[in-house]
Amino acid sequence: MLINLHKPDINKAMVKLGDLDSLAPFPRKLEYSCPSRGGWTIAHTPMIIPGSHMIYIGASACLRGVVLSAAEYEGLDRFSMVLIEEKDILSGNMEELFIEGVTDILNKLDHRPTCVLPFTGCIHYFLATDIEYIYDELSARFPDIDFISSQMTPTMKINDHTPEEDMCRSMYLCIEEQPLNDKVVNFIGDSYPIAKSGDHMKLLHEHGFRTHDLASIDSYDEYKAMGESFLNIYSLPIAKWSTECLEERLGQQSLYMPYTYNYDEIDRDMSKLAKIIGAPIPDFAVLRAEADESLAKALSIIGDTVVTVDFMSTPRFLSLARLLLSHGFNVTEIYGDVLSPESQDDIDWFKKNYPDIPLIATQDFRARFYPRDETNDGKVLAIGQKATYFTGTNHFVNLIANNGWYGYDAIKKLADEMIDAFNNEKDAKSIIQVKAWGCSA
């Protein structure tokens, strides 16, 4: 059946939550990418490692995007390239090109990186390049540098592990085994610093624990010191493989404390943490009351203003929408393409309570044709950059991957940000088109 690409049926790019029968309701075919770019990618996350240097080995067409990304966050002094040409593919000397290219770059740098992340591309795997030999040779030539094998392989998105999961795992490969300290804890996987006021962070610090959070670390020595921690806490699903590898390699325990907005789940996970560290369980009744008070204050100001939520704001975006609806907010649209198995309880709740609220695709090609109120005549408060773009509003909460907020503290922060977004317009265009919001070299 032919599809009219000029006037497609946009109703096929949305589904009522009451009719949802799959966690992936929208077929992956022709895709659209809207200009909301605040999420971090593999071109940005390595910058979190202090003193790191990225070297991409690939064709010019593949490297165009990453070099522009590096330029945007002023990271070109920590970014290099080795260009692959057609003759290099035909000559069969890909290993030599890789090794000599990286060697030449490192010898010409005016500083010595603490670690280097050479990025292989799809072409290396198509040509069966001997990656292990390459890294053995580089490590022998530069014994004072840690090398992290990294991949830019968009053709492998549907492998067992996504490129994002692989990058997250790679970020911690240079942490070495050492005696574990039962008073030190790592936070794994976030690009944004974990909020010091977060419920889990406060519990740890109030009971004499030290914490390492890669997004907050300033020195390579402290990065290496993450090997002393007995426990790794992660909140983003992409970090699951990272913590599994660290547990196997270094013997560190793992604890998943997801960015949920469900009170019972927060209480459950905080209780797990308290048990692990031998601390009293927090007074959840007090914390719940504080969160309810913050939401009630926000509702008294925002009233029945339309609120929209998207998947870019937080991994558990249905949980967030459910919280707001259950506290009286007028959530009318939810933007997302796939749902995690963790969302099943939220899906069931929506089917029972708000079955007509639509889940709207953001990557389906039809999303290009969604009507947008760029005049902002009808006031909309968006949570997340995708919802901001598709609704055309300038009243939005710039929440990306939960901003490192956790627990009841995250709920209070969100309520305050919603009040600010309601009262004050932002320049959406100048904010949401910036890649990896907050990234700086």
Q: Is the pLDDT of residue 319 over 90?
A: yes
pLDDT tens sequence across 405-420: 999 999 999 999 999 9
Q: Reduced to 3 states, what is the DSSP secondary structure of residue 250?
A: helix
Taking alpha carbons only, the member of 128, 152, 178 closest to residue 63 is: 152
CA dist., res. 325 & res. 333, Å (int): 11
- Residues 83-99 have pLDDT tens digits of 888 887 878 788 999 99
Task: Using the 3D structure, point to which of 125, 143, 171 is the last residue of a domain.
Answer: 171
Q: Which pLDDT score, from 0 to 100, does residue 94 have? A: 85
Task: Clarify whether residues 417 and 294 are in a common domain.
Answer: yes
Same domain membership, residue 232 and residue 199: yes
**Residue 73 confidence (pLDDT) above 90:** no
Q: Across residues 103-122, what is the average pLDDT?
A: 93
84 & 165 share domain: yes
pLDDT (0 to 100) of residue 333: 97
93-97, 181-185, 283-287, 370-374 — which is least confidently predicted? 370-374
Q: Which residues of 350-385 are buried (b: 16+ CB within 10 A; e: fewer)?
A: beeebeebbbbbbbbebbeebeeeeeeeeebbbbbb
Least confident of 182-191, 231-240, 369-378: 369-378
Do 186 and 204 fall into the same domain?
Answer: yes
Q: Worst-scoring range by mean pLDDT, 19-23, 65-69, 322-326? A: 65-69
Q: Domain count of the chain?
A: 3
SS3 (DSSP) at 345: helix
Let me know if 305 is exposed, middle or buried by CB neighbors in 10 A (0-12, 13-18, 19+): middle
Per-residue pLDDT at 376: 54
Task: Specify if 268 maps to a domain.
Answer: no
pLDDT at residue 196 greater than cutoff 80: yes
Mean pLDDT, to the nearest integer, of 60-66? 82
pLDDT score at 259: 98
User: Are residues 307 and 393 both part of a single domain?
Assistant: yes
CB atoms within 10 A of CB 82: 20
Distance CA 73, CA 363 (A): 25
Rounded average pLDDT over 46-74: 87
pLDDT higher than threshold 80 for residue 378: no
Q: How far apart are CA 233 and CA 208, in angstroms?
A: 17
pLDDT, residue 352, reads 98
Counting residues of the chain whose pLDDT is more than 90, the rounded percentage is 75
Query: What is the reported pLDDT for 5?
Result: 67
Residue 411 lies in a domain: yes
Give yes or no: residues 337 and 425 share one domain.
Answer: yes
φ, ψ for residue 182, nearest 5 deg: -75, 10
Cα 232 to the center of its chain, rounded Å:
17
pLDDT digits (tens, 9 = 90+) for 326-362: 999 999 999 999 999 999 999 999 999 999 999 999 9
Contact 167, 40 (CB under 8 A): no
**386 and 335 Cβ atoms separated by less than 8 Å:** yes
The tokens for 294 are 């913050």
Q: What's 204's domain CATH number?
A: 3.40.50.1980
Evaluate whether residue 303 is within a structural domain. yes
Single residue among 171, 201, 221 that ends a domain in this structure: 171
The structure's pTM equals 0.93
Strand segments, DSSP code E, in 238-353 are 253-256, 306-310, 330-335
Range 70-93 average pLDDT: 85
Same domain, 67 and 153: yes
Q: Is residue 275 part of a domain?
A: no
Q: How many H helices and E strands in the chain? A: 16, 15
**Helix, coil or strand: residue 199:** helix
Check residue 93 and give its pLDDT.
Answer: 85
Is 37 domain-assigned?
A: no
Task: Give the domain CATH number at 394.
Answer: 3.40.50
Judge contact between 102 and 138, C-beta under 8 A.
yes
Which tens digit of pLDDT belongs to each residue from 213-271?
A: 999 999 999 999 999 999 999 999 999 999 999 999 999 999 999 999 999 999 999 99
**Is the separation of the CB atoms in 193 and 218 below 8 Å?**
no
Of 89-98, 187-196, 256-265, 286-295, give the lowest mean pLDDT range: 89-98
Eight-class DSSP state of 81: E
Is residue 14 a part of any domain in this protein? no
Domain boundary among 171, 203, 230: 171
Same domain, 434 and 293: yes
Say which residue, 69 or 212, is predicted with more confidence: 212
pLDDT score of 371: 87
* Same domain? 340 vs 306: yes
- Given this model, what pLDDT does residue 354 score? 98
| pLDDT tier for residue 377 given thresholds of 50, 70 and 90 | low
Side chain identity, residue 373: D
Number of C-beta neighbours around residue 190 at 10 A: 26
Residue among 139, 165, 128 nearest 150 (CA): 165
Q: String of b and e for 315-348 (b: at least 16 CB within 10 Å)?
A: bbbbbbbbbbbbbebebbbbbbbebeebbeebbe
Please check whether residues 187 and 164 belong to one and the same domain: no
Chain position carrying tokens 């309601």: 422
**pLDDT above 90 for 177:** yes
pLDDT value of position 159:
63
Question: The domain containing residue 114 runs over which residues?
Answer: 45-171
Structure confidence at residue 346 (pLDDT): 98
DSSP string for residues in 15-55: EEGGG---SS-S--SSB---S---S--TTTGGGGSTTEEEE
Is residue 30 in a domain?
no
- Can you say whether the dihedral through the CA atoms of 303, 332, 357, 351 is positive or negative? negative
Q: Are residues 310 and 425 in the same domain?
A: yes
CA dihedral for 207, 208, 214, 215, sign (positive or negative):
positive
- Among 326, 388, 325, 324, which Cα is nearest to 35's? 388
The total of other beta-carbon atoms located within 10 Å of residue 256's CB is 16
Which of 190, 101, 173 lies closest to 137, judged by CA? 101
- Asked if 70 and 136 sit in the same domain, the reply is yes
Q: Is residue 402 part of a domain?
A: yes
- In the predicted model, is pLDDT for residue 16 greater than 80? yes
22-31, 225-234, 399-408: least confident range:
22-31
Q: What is the mean pLDDT of the chain?
A: 92
Angle between helices 407-423 and 199-206 (to 10 degrees): 130
